[in-house]
Amino acid sequence: MISGEHMIDGYYNLKKEDLKNLLKAVIKDFRLISPQPANGADFLFQETEDSGKINLNYDITSNTLKEFFFPARETVFEYEKRKDGSVETVPGADTFKGETVFLGPRSCDIRAVYFQDCFFGKEPKDSLYWRKRDKSILISFACNKPPRKGCFCVYTNNSGPVLEKGEGFDLQFIDLAGFYLVEVGTGKGKNFIKKYGKLFKQSDEKILAKKSCIKESCLKHFEKEYNIMDIYEKLKDINLEKLWEELGKRCTNCGGCEFICPTCFCFYTQDIEHSKGKGERIRAWDSCIFSGYSRMAGGVNPHEKNSDRISRRFFCKLYNCYKWFGVFGCTGCGRCSFVCPVNLDMESFIASLMKTDRYQPLLKEL
C-alpha cells in the first residue's frame, strides 16, 4: 500500500510480477487476445490460453484489431429458397466467441478502434460490428519509446504514444519500471479492476505525475516536422493535380495499403450459392484503390483514373474522416509502409505533400 494521503480514483498500480497472475486469471474468465510471435519475426494479435506465449515487448503486429470486429469476410445471413417461391433468411452466426479481453494493443491500435467505433456507430449502427465490439475490453499498453522508426502517431491526432481518458481504452497500462500505472478509461475498465481487485492497489498523485514524464520523454524521440492540421489545410486549399498524377502512375492498385490499415472500413457484399436455392450473403473488405470500385451500370466509372483514386484515398483519411468525426483516418501506425511495393505509404505521402508548394487556389470545374 502506498501512502494513503493523495490517493486518486481511477488510477491503480500493478506489480510487474503480478501481470502473470492477472493473465492467468483473465484466461480463466475471458477469451484473451494478445500479441504473440508468429512465423519467426512477425507478431500477431492472437487468441491464447497459454500466458507464456504472450510477448508485450513487440514492435508492431502484422494484423490489427479491425479483423476481430470487422473481419476480412463474414456471413451476413444465410438463405434458403422454398418450393412455394418464398425465401427464408437466417442471420449469420456470431463468430465472436464470448467476452474478450484484448491485452497489449498499443495506443495507435486503440485510436484505430476509436475511429471505427465512430464510423460503425453512426446511425444506422452497424450491428455486425457492434455485436462483437460490445463484448470486448481493450487494455492498451502505452509506449515509453516509439517501438519502431516508422511510427508517426504523434503527427496524426496525437494517436500516441500515451493516451488520455476518452481516447478509446478501457484500461491503459503505463510501464513505470517496477510496476504498471493502470488508468481506468471507462466503466468496462472499472469493472475489470473490481473483478481482480486483489492485484490492483490504488495509486497516488505522485505516481500519476510520472505519466506525463513518460509521455514527454517518449515525444522527444519524434522529430516533429509537421502538424496534421497543416496537412488538412493544404489538401483543402491547393491544387494537387500534378501530385496525384505522379502518384497515380506509381500505384499498382494492389490494395495492400487499405487491407492492412486498421481504420479502412470499405466492404463489398456477395451472394454465394452453396447448393441449389441455398447459400449465404457475405461481406468482405474492399479497397477504393481497385479500378472497379465505383464502376456502374453501362460501364460508367466516375473514378476510372488511378490518380483520381489515389487522391480519394488520401482525401478520405486526412480530410473526410476529420470532417466526420474530428479525428483523422490515419493513426500513424506505419503499417502501409510495409506493404506498399512502391513506397506510396501514408508517411511518404505526407512527406511529398509537405514538399509540394504549388499554392494555387483549387480550381473548381463546373
Partner 1 sequence: MNNNYIPKVVRIERIFEEAPNVNTFYIKERLEFIPGQFLEISYFGIGESPISIASCPGEEFLRISFKRVGGLTNNLFDLKEGDSIGIRGPFGNGFPLGDLDEKDIIFIAGGMGMAPLRSLLKFIFCKKQGNISSLTLLYGARRPQDILYKKELEELGENIKVLLTVDKPEAGWQGHTGVVPKLLDKIELNPLNTRAFICGPEIMMRFTVAKLLKTGIPSSDIIFSLERYMKCGVGKCGHCYIADKFVCRDGPVFNYKQLSDLSPAEIL
Ligand X SMILES: Cc1cc2nc3c(=O)[nH]c(=O)nc-3n(C[C@H](O)[C@H](O)[C@H](O)COP(=O)(O)OP(=O)(O)OC[C@H]3O[C@@H](n4cnc5c(N)ncnc54)[C@H](O)[C@@H]3O)c2cc1C
> Which residues here bind partner 1, judged by CB under 8 A?
76-77, 79, 81, 85-89, 91-92, 119-120, 122, 124-128, 130-131, 236, 265-271, 273, 277, 279, 281, 283, 286, 288, 293-298, 300, 302, 311-312, 315-316, 319-320, 323-324, 362, 364-366
Shorter beta-carbon distance to ligand X: residue 124 or 326: 124
With CB cut-offs between 5 and 8 Å by kind, which of ligand SF4, partner 1, ligand X, none does residue 261 bind? Answer: ligand SF4
Which residues form the interface with ligand SF4 (CB under 6 A)?
Answer: 251-257, 260-263, 289, 317, 330-336, 339-342, 344-346
Q: How many Å separate Cα 217 from the centre of its chain?
A: 24
The closest alpha carbon to 95, from 128, 62, 138, belongs to: 128
d(CA 76, CA 263): 21
User: What one-letter code names the amino acid at 77?
Assistant: F
With CB cut-offs between 5 and 8 Å by kind, which of partner 1, ligand SF4, ligand X, none does residue 314 bind? Answer: none
Shorter beta-carbon distance to ligand X: residue 177 or 297: 297
d(CA 258, CA 150): 17
CB of 62 to partner 1, least distance (A): 23
Q: Which residues contact 364 (CB under 8 A, 6 or more apart)?
A: none
d(CA 330, CA 346): 8
d(CA 173, CA 183): 7
Hey, which residues between 267 and 326 contact ligand X (CB under 6 A)? 295-297, 299
The closest alpha carbon to 247, from 340, 364, 151, belongs to: 340
d(CA 134, CA 340): 33
C-alpha cell at 165: 481518458
CB of 348 to partner 1, least distance (A): 21
How many residues bind ligand X (CB under 6 A)? The answer is 4
Q: What are phi and psi of 107, to 5 degrees?
A: -55, -45
C-alpha cell at 107: 495506443
With CB cut-offs between 5 and 8 Å by kind, which of ligand SF4, partner 1, ligand X, none does residue 226 bind? Answer: none
Does 1 participate in binding ligand X (rule CB under 6 A)? no
C-alpha cell at 213: 514524464
CB of 48 to ligand SF4, least distance (A): 25
With CB cut-offs between 5 and 8 Å by kind, which of partner 1, ligand SF4, ligand X, none does residue 32 bind? Answer: none
Q: Catalog residues that contact ligand X under the rule CB under 6 A.
A: 295-297, 299
